[in-house]
Amino acid sequence: MKAIKWTVAERKAIRMSRDHWKRDIVKPLEAGDELNNKGFLLRWVGTDRPLKTGTDDCALCRMCYCSNCPLERFYNEVCSQPDSRYQKFLRRGSLRTAKAMMNALDRMLKREPKT
């Protein structure tokens, strides 16, 4: 992890992605909603609605399309890597793995150098 000065667009995308994980994934899991971890797409148990974790749902993905992604520059990690936080969540969708992803995004903002 290193301190990086983000552009205004990157900072906004990181914040929007963090807020998305908190609102759409972590909060429902904290409230007791469960995920169906079977199959290719994670779905919410009971409603069978798909979990919003695709590239269309993530502000960072929409901004970067994986090239020069702030996650890669900060953590040396891309979401397609098998050991990335994102892939761990997709394999074992749980409150713990969702919080790991949200907290990783939060740390990116907190470690930004002050000017």
Q: What's the pLDDT score for residue 31?
A: 95
Within a domain: 33? yes
Q: What's the pLDDT score for residue 16?
A: 93
CA distance 45 to 50: 10
pLDDT in tens, 60-91: 888 877 777 888 888 888 888 899 898 899 88
Number of domains in the chain: 1
Within a domain: 51? yes
Within a domain: 3? no
CA distance 21 to 45: 18
Q: Specify whether the CB–CB gap between 34 and 93 falls below 8 A.
A: no
Within a domain: 93? yes
Q: What does DSSP say about strands 43-44 and 35-36: parallel, antiparallel, or unpaired?
A: antiparallel
Which structural domain range is residue 36 located in? 8-110
